[in-house]
Structure 1
């Protein structure tokens, strides 16, 4: 796998969809579907394949494209549409060394409708091939629910039926067949059902549902309510079948769908070609902007390009806005609801994904580009003057009022710079006073930087609300750098961003990269501060008990704690146990200290 393919696979989304493999001539050689596009496509290049045909396929892959859809069910339908349209050679050669299944309407007096893999030229009619056996079975089940046609393999010629050789079977008793074998269903009625089934398999479901609906109204007018209810159930069944998918929709005519997105340098256009309600072509492309082209101009250029390239003659084009292009005999539609709106949203989803993938590919080749983009986003979201190349964040830790400490973490180019982290033992504050602590450590940090002539950060982040932020600002004012460095506070509860002297907080989008960087800063400062606080508290607990005993040095203390694990256990140890570790003289010192303390 070359770097070009690696870069594509690295940025494929973990979403349902269809993927297409292209050879060095730009021809589609394989179409597949996946619940998770990234995992499925990656597996072709990371696994050892037993099948020589699969290994040959992988060796011929020179480009990969994909189409994301809303549901897993849509991947089956879209894959089938694409295979029928492009007939990729490896879709036939692979897949269990079998051809794809088709649905056959047998050339019989009472035709059967069944799944088959063998195409026999005997006058039977075939629909397909379909890429997935389960999807074919679902379609057949739907047909048999809608129309109770026979499933048996009896030779139902008029002569055999007239001879009375057959009897009704279980299918008749459970109302899944109307028993043409004994003459209980007329030939004309049976073949009307077969004609409707053919229309469904052609994709003309609207025609069938309209016919059933009219029959239902007719039966209701005649007050044949049982028949009307049966027709109503059939109508609802076929409507549910039509409405369950975006890829195969209620639209039974040819339309083109376009969507548009852009960034500073490029315009992106996605094109869907819908034929008889099925998507058969999806293509996304990019225009590099030149001077001051409007999005209306660019969309118009894209429409002309796609109509020429794919030979589209669609009389209706679905668009997100009206292009600056008039085409004779063509109507532009901006849908507000319904199937066309769903198709436009699907196209929009794909053009946005293309834009994201392009950005990820560029950033994977140049990681610094991504960091600068994120810093620009922070600069824009927080409305600060300078690009925040260096950001510093402060957090206080004083659990239960003991050992108050503070931490300062430093991010450079959006990434932690751990060598620049600093922690502070609070000197002028006693007890849990967050405001005074923040005032002290911010003053100490920037007083030192100013003395050393070190560069100041472009952004300071205070972990806390308005009170902690105000205290930090007081220190900056006393140092004469207030206003020269941007400073904000981030509150924990709702992730509010506070500005100095402004009571109204800013709320960033929960998914924005700016907020993620600020959260990472805050969490890293909290982690660093808590770790330092725990170490200080542990030292203080040990010191108060052992370091105050004259004659007990660091090595003796280390041996005691290694053996007994805690001061409490050292107190409870017997004289013999202690003597084994530190000798008789130091044992006497320990015992005397603990006895005096208890008295």
Structure 2
């Protein structure tokens, strides 16, 4: 097609878009810019669809990012709503669902973690993510899982609350290991009275709501009472609880004079084109942690616009504290505050100019964001240097960015698992990792179009995983890598060359990572078939460090998957091999004794207590598992 025809088509498309814009209503709503293939490029909201969308096509001073986006727009879709608040909700739902290329995105879609106390007669203490159930009591949310796990460990140590699943709790006949190491009071077998356990739950609730002082005071009274009754051992146990809680109080580096204070602190900082949002949480007047978020597609967004996007994406359809401290003030803060208040059914205040200790919190959050940017830049500089060194050492193309690495893991051919890990944008990309279960059933029955391999045949496993992955890439599903790292020597690399030739992929460079003679780190040889070179970099070479980082991650990811698959297979097979034990009985046995090891340790009499297990079958199970 010549330039004249292309220009004519572009003018015709522009004219069609202007007609669409001309007929838009002067009403609130959401608009979507679509590419020619139907991909959503951008989602926006407007108080007036006509005025907002028209502004894109009337201005001549658009930023490079907007000009690039408009050059790809093939059609416009709109949805009219009743109010600007409704438009904000719909806009953020669509952004989360569609991840448009030109919207700022906070990839933080996971629900935040909570500490949960279940609504049972003997409540269970648990780590929880997901939809909240009114039957249970939740404390949080917390900014990261580490804070929740640390809290649960402390509560186990101090209050001895149970953490076991209900299926295990309801079928125990003797205390578990947690009771033996003094992390559970064993309510499952009534080693603690229901009244005492409920008191421990009540104290744990007070602690989680920030009332440690009340808990300590109650425990001190209990300790004195026990000592007065000459129950010195019990009094010493309570003393240890008090000491543990006192240490927690001492560790709190931020506290509020108002013990009931709940607030989130959000600060956004921009430095040399990098935007970072720091979210810190204060619950019950106690700082419970923070996290740093680096949004995608943040080019040319101001900190005020970024904070607006974060508040909308983070809090809509999620619990909100009574106060959000912000720096700088977000765009449309009044509309956001009204919407969050309606959602929470109580007043939510967005405060951008706090006083006293709240100003200190906000300044701390801002400094944390600045520090996170410095750390990120340092990491990127280090990773960029490693990648540049590898490109130079192996003669790779200058534009090399994406590396994928494969590894195979099994135990003497059992439960073979292949891993693929991805390095891109100067960092590992865990969300893009993939595991592949390799069938080794010698019956010869094809699975998903691939025949099972001989157990222990690493070459066949490598052939299968490469074929499964890159047939899809060749068909347009997935991203084409610049370099494919193969953990292995000439044999595995030869398999990779054959697969790439069969599929017809010639652009990715193949590099084999062969261990040295003594298999020690630092002696690896890098085999590059495209240049015919075998390169052994010095031990301190940055490029070698990058290869080791990616290779070790592939190995870790493969062996983790292999161990899980092997354990699952062994648990199932050992009971499946017992005649008379079907799926239902197997499930009851595992639930009753908390797993296969518990079944193995059980006596014949204990096995007979499980529904459906008579003495003959119990003898058979006992002999099979002990044999």
TM-score class, shorter: 0.3 to 0.5
- Return the TM-score normalized by structure 2: 0.34
> Which is higher, the Rg of structure 1 or of structure 2?
1
Tell which has more relative contact order, 1 or 2 (C-alpha 8 A, sep 6+).
2
